[in-house]
Structure 1
Amino acid sequence: MSLPRYLPSLALLGLCLCVGARVVYPSSTCEPNKMTVYKVMVETAWSREVFPKQYPEWRPPAQWSKVVGRSHNSSFKLFRMGEAASEGLKQFAEQGQTEVLDAHSQGEGGVFDEFNAPPVPEGAGETQTEFFVDGNHSRVSLISRVVPSPDWFIGIDSFDLCVEGKWVESVVLEVDPLDAGTDNGFTFTSPNWPTIPKKPVSRITAQSPDHPANSFYYPDVQEHPPIATFHIVKVKEYELSQVFSPSLPRSSTTRRYSPQDLQDDNTTKGRTGEGDNDVNNSILPETGEPSSSSSSSSTKQPLLNTVVNKYRKKFKKNRTGRKMGPGRKSHCKKMARRRNRGPRDCLLSEWAEWSSCSKTCGIGEQIRTRTVLRHSRRGGRPCPSLQETKWCGSSRDCDHKYFDW
């Protein structure tokens, strides 16, 4: 049989490349501060009319386990074609147990959202659920066990819902049964016979494995219809109310005033809105620092002359030979030290604890804040954002329903 049939409902997916059970797109990233909610609908077509050979009708009859899903980044792997099954996949494919798989919970190991869909109690039926992704976790993986079977399942591996920086509107994925490679059984109801060592996860087709006992072996046809179809549809997009920038780099260009702007005291005060003690701030009114020692020296020299001239006028009597009092002498020393100071960066407190989630069911936000301990001066690094926001919420708090539209 050919590779699984991925049938996109939009031309947006025309660039996909089918590789085994994975779909690989050209590298692209959707905005990380935007979150998208998708609905996945699983339609199964395992019936006696379509798959008559050894069709199980009792103890137990043909059915499907719950759908186990994860939205994640490229570091997470639920299963992979051509690779040996993990212990979690082995337990799920053979017995339907999810304890090991549940260890990869929301927020751990590259997982963004963990979700389940109810089981399908018959061979042909449907089930659905919702999940969410963001620009840093745009892939989705899903599996459902064939019941009864030795270690067979259906699944989608790392399907990327972000294509060329945009979220896929809808897509239809037709799949074949898969063999986890952990049990040697050929029939739906064969006894447990472990495969040692494990074999790679592989696809079961009408021609492979080519053993007469294989329950899905149909030598008279080239391929049989897909046993299940995954419909993934975009439901809604969300955006954080505030986007946090963890650090603001110093500006590579610094706005400076020309020496002519510094010759008039009134002009200088008008630009800074401050008095004589903050003349340095009139040169670097915004973020940044001197871009080079040469440009810094050439600009500081006119400023230094201006400051000296101002205080010469202010203490005119001292230039006539009158002795300067100790108070004025101390003040002048203080001003000299102030002129030689470098930039002072903003100093912040540590982050406070995260607030509780704004919603008890569905998608909410958590906020944490910090305070300014010392403001920047003389062109030092300015204070970054004082508030950070992140997503919170889980389907487990909503009885498998994210939103009440």
Structure 2
Amino acid sequence: MAQDSYTEVLRTPSNFATTSEAEYSCKFTNLWSEARHPNLYPGNAHWSPPVLGAHSNGYSMWAPGALASPGIESVAETGAVGTLLNEFVAANDLTGDIVTGDVTFNRVVNDQVLDNIIFSREHPYLSSISMIAPSPDWFTGFYDYDPRSDNGNSWAREFTLLTYPWDAGTEQGTGYRLGNSAESPHKVISQFTRETVPENGIFLSSTGNEVLPVASWCCTLVTNVMTPSGPRVGGPNPDNMDFP
């Protein structure tokens, strides 16, 4: 069975119309650990600054089967976000708001809240990336997520996505190490699954039969909104959810 590129574990509707801009607060949470991903798990495991960008359907930050842009290559290999931010801005009207977080080491910090990000009718899609570090060119994130209702008329009140490890296809290597030889020519971006992990079983769960998510991204609408049943009075708390 094919593994999804991300898993949506929470999506709550609202009555906040997409004719208005929507402001979201997003939290990045580490799920990559020695208990969940035991094979060769590094003692200095950490994440590069997460990047979240709102955009139109005419822009692609990254996608499976595509070649990594220089910006994605830079993030995946070194964690540096400058080139990706320049690419995003250079897309002009195709891109909107973009925010970045901080480097976090898993043994110290396991989540962070990024600056709020604004969606608009022109830029309703969301893509993200963060380097799995140290590694040759591995990352996690999602692409082209649409937080609107099925009819496109309202923004989601909140959503939570679980994301998996990916290979940018720009550098060789099968372990958690930096400074590997370049992949020449570059390969396309591909997802680590049970069928595609290296022979050392990196990223496999303790049972060896699946690749568990390595991160979650939870975004909540901070604009004053009404749910279909009235004012917001609570709901599922992602902090208390049992992630697969």
Partner of 1:197: 185
Alpha-carbon separation, structure 2, partners of 1:114 and 1:182? 24
Q: How many corresponding residue pairs?
A: 216
How has the CA–CA distance of structure 1 residues 46 and 212 changed in structure 2, closer, same or farther, with 3 Å as cutoff? same
The structure that has the greater radius of gyration is 1
Q: Which runs of no fewer than 5 residues in structure 1 stay unpaired? A: 13-28, 239-405
Partner of 2:96: 112
> Contact 1:207–1:217 (CA<8 Å) still a contact in 2?
no
Partner of 2:238: none
Alpha-carbon separation, structure 1, partners of 2:93 and 2:83? 13
Partner of 1:166: 154
1:76 counterpart = 2:59: yes
Partner of 1:7: 9
> Contact 2:158–2:219 (CA<8 Å) still a contact in 1?
yes
Q: Which runs of no fewer than 5 residues in structure 2 stay unpaired? A: 226-244
Higher RCO (C-alpha under 8 Å, 6+ residues apart): 2
Letter in 1 for 2:3: S
How has the CA–CA distance of structure 1 residues 212 and 70 changed in structure 2, closer, same or farther, with 3 Å as cutoff? same
Instruction: Report how far residue 237 of structure 1 moved.
Output: 5.7
How has the CA–CA distance of structure 1 residues 214 and 90 changed in structure 2, closer, same or farther, with 3 Å as cutoff? farther
Give a deviation string over 1:329-368, Cα, whole Å, max 9, x none: xxxxxxxxxxxxxxxxxxxxxxxxxxxxxxxxxxxxxxxx
> Contact 1:207–1:222 (CA<8 Å) still a contact in 2?
no
Which of 217, 235, 241 is the matching residue for 1:230?
217
Which has the larger helix fraction? Answer: 1
RMSD after superposition:
2.3
Instruction: Report how far residue 108 of structure 1 moved.
Output: 1.8
> Contact 2:48–2:80 (CA<8 Å) still a contact in 1?
no
Partner of 1:40: 26
1:176 counterpart = 2:168: no
Letter in 1 for 2:138: W
1:99 counterpart = 2:115: no
Give a deviation string over 1:134-171, Cα, whole Å, max 9, x none: 11111111111111000001111011122221101111
> Contact 1:186–1:214 (CA<8 Å) still a contact in 2?
no
Which of 90, 93, 111 is the matching residue for 1:126?
111
SS at match of 2:110: strand
Instruction: Report how far residue 109 of structure 1 moved.
Output: 4.6
SS at match of 2:67: coil
SS at match of 1:92: helix
> Contact 1:143–1:155 (CA<8 Å) still a contact in 2?
yes
Q: TM-score, normalised by structure 2?
A: 0.81
Alpha-carbon separation, structure 1, partners of 2:28 and 2:34? 19
Partner of 2:234: none
